[in-house]
Copies of this chain bind each other. A is one copy, B any other.
Amino acid sequence: MANLGENSLMTGLLSPASQTNQKAEPKRKRIRRCRSAPLAEFVPGDLNGKNEATMLPRSESCLDKLHPSFKRVAIFLTFYLVIGTICFSFVMEQIKGEKINEVLDAVYFCIVTMTTVGYGDLVPNSVATKLLACAFVFSGMALVGLILSKGADYIVEKQEMLLIKALRMRQKLGAAEILKELETNKVRYKCLTTMAFLVVLILVGTVFLVTVEKLDIVDAFYCVCSTITTLGYGDKSFSTKAGRVFAIFWILTSTLCMAQFFCYIAEFNTESRQKALVKWVLTRRMTNVDLEAADLDDDGIVGAAEFVLYKLKEMGKINQEDILLVMEEFESLDVDQSGTLSPSDLTLAQSAQT
């Protein structure tokens, strides 16, 4: 549903009433004001932050909110790596394995630990370093979760347009058409973009391992697979100076990309199912039983808003508890008990409160 959300939001921001007019007015003028309620952007503070891992599709609409989060993630990551480098540089003699350069090894060890690749080419060899590694792997995992939920999504969204342009090059789509295409199939393009990234990263990694680390092609591919899945058997790893510099960037990017790809696949599945459900609900025949059940105020007829509520509930977008929660507020505002709210109700209700 994310694409629908953003679509309506964008149109809503440009001209609050135009959208309804396009669709409803040609038929009949009666229902012309589906105005935009102040959506999530209008909410102050952090309420509106979002977490990709648990994906509340509606709050996804706030693309511009992602920028500060992305910065914050970058700051956290830098902070983690600086602290990690300092800590592990100091205790490098207590870490055994193939060493090349104190600072480089410390950063490399941090990255291999935080992404849970854990080759084992460098391993802690004292009580202090072992406990330090435990602390760093847990904080690293939390950080990776944060990166996945905030940063990666932002980068993918930046890249999608390029992908669609490439895919549709021959059709010469205008900017507006590309945007529309993007909104309608948002999750699909996210999957495709991430997959394209992933393929590039796998190729780059394999080529690098073959040319710089002098592995044969199967070993290089095996090492790449073992790394991006964070398996990290460690029989093949980065053992040259150039290899470790490359590894620092490549491991971080490719493991995150792989994880993000899995997230998008899951999102895609959910969205497909959700879309099928919506379609089923909308094409289902209404019966008189439905009509009676939809009649919220029990006046024998079903108004437009009652009908919408009933169908949205059927789609699973809202539930009975949501409705009851708001109904309580409605009844406290409806001072004259007319079953409707008018400006005079508001005045009465709010003067009674104060």
Contacts and interface: CB of A to CB of B under 8 A. Distances in A.
A55 B269 CA distance: 11
B58 A341 contact: no
A270 to B, nearest CB: 4
B305 A118 contact: no
A124 B226 CA distance: 11
Nearest to A28: B337
A235 B296 CA distance: 66
A203 interface: no
A287 B346 contact: yes
Q: Main secondary structure on chain A at its contact with chain B? A: helix
Interface residues of A, number: 142
Interface stretch (A18-26, A77-85, A171-179): A18-26
A322 B34 contact: no
Contact of A327 (B293, B301, B304, B343): B304
A216 to B, nearest CB: 9
Contact of A222 (B28, B124, B234, B330): B124
A58 B218 contact: no
A311 to B, nearest CB: 4
A185 to B, nearest CB: 14
Nearest to A219: B130
A57 interface: yes
Contacts of A27: 331
Given A30-B297, A36-B320, A312-B326, 6 more contacts: A5-B321, A33-B295, A48-B273, A48-B277, A124-B222, A130-B222
